Amino acid sequence: MKKKEIKDLIVESLKDISLLRLKVYDNTKEAFEMLKQVLQDIVEEYNQEALKLSEDKRLQLTYKERGSNIVSLQVASELLVFNFHSNIFQFNREHEIWNNPYVRISPANAFSGMITIYNFLADSFRYNRLQDLGYMVGRIFVNRQNHFIVEGKRQIGFKQREFGKAELKPECLKLVVERSINYALNFDLLVPPYDDIKIVSVAQMQETEQSVRVRTGKRLGFRFNSDDV
């Protein structure tokens, strides 16, 4: 291959692929900023309702920015963590998204940015329990045309055949957040297996004031998108 041909290929890639990824990144970043506002609006709305039930502040929702790309929403003992991923992704060839006519017409429509939603126990962060587990509740994909798809638990995800029919708007994100809250509140904490915690060292026990060392999670053997089918 001649030097000029290689240069032409690089320039073509910069024009097509790089511009595409930049557009997807910008859309996903804007979606994340929109999500942050939606979360703050939900906190205000639901806290007004919570005050009607009780003055107990433990019922209050709490929004927190944990970094430029991470925010959280605490609901009672639950913590939902929303993470904007800075990279752009393409779906693997086995993914059912490729059966969507919108993607078949233009494969570039499948390039997407991603926002993940994880569910932790609030105490895991409060007591710095670094070994505790969080579980993915869902993930939001946004493409170059600001169309979106939500993968996740059945009550959270959107039907993939709808991909390409609607742009991402605040009301869509609010529905995703509310579904995620409902799922987290009904995703029960299970007792850890006895054999996992039957032996604890003196050092581990002495360190509990700073960090509880017994790993805690809502489920063991969790499989994404499988426990609610």
CB-side neighbour CA atoms (13 Å) of 26: 8
* 152-200 tens-digit pLDDT: 876 676 666 778 888 999 999 999 999 999 999 987 666 666 676 666 6
Nearest to 157 by CA among 134, 135, 180: 180
Contacts of 103 (CB under 8 A, 6+ apart): 97, 109, 110, 163, 164
* Residue 177: CA count within 13 A, CB half-sphere: 29
Nearest CA to 147 out of 98, 194, 185, 113 is that of 113
Is residue 79 over pLDDT 80?
yes
* SS3 call for 82: strand
What is the structure's pLDDT at 154? 66
What is the spatial distance between Cα 22 and Cα 18, in angstroms, rounded to a whole number? 6
pLDDT-derived band at 202 (thresholds 50, 70, 90) equals low
Tokens of 181: 């809250």
Residue ranges of domains in the chain: 3-209
CA distance linking residue 69 with residue 87, whole number of Å: 12
Task: Write a three-state SS string for 6-31.
Answer: HHHHHHHHHHHHHHHHHHHHHHHHHH
Percent of the chain with pLDDT over 70: 75
Model confidence at 214: pLDDT above 70? no
Asked whether 127 and 212 are in contact (CB, 8 A), the reply is yes
Using alpha carbons, list the distances in angstroms from residue 185 to 32, 120, 165, 182, 228.
Answer: 23, 11, 31, 5, 15
Whole-prediction pTM value?
A: 0.81
* Alpha carbon distance 57, 48 (integer Å): 12
What's the rounded Cα separation, in Å, for the pair 102 and 124? 41
Mean pLDDT score, 46-69: 88
pLDDT at 217 over 80: no
CA nearest to 116, candidates 192, 204, 224: 224
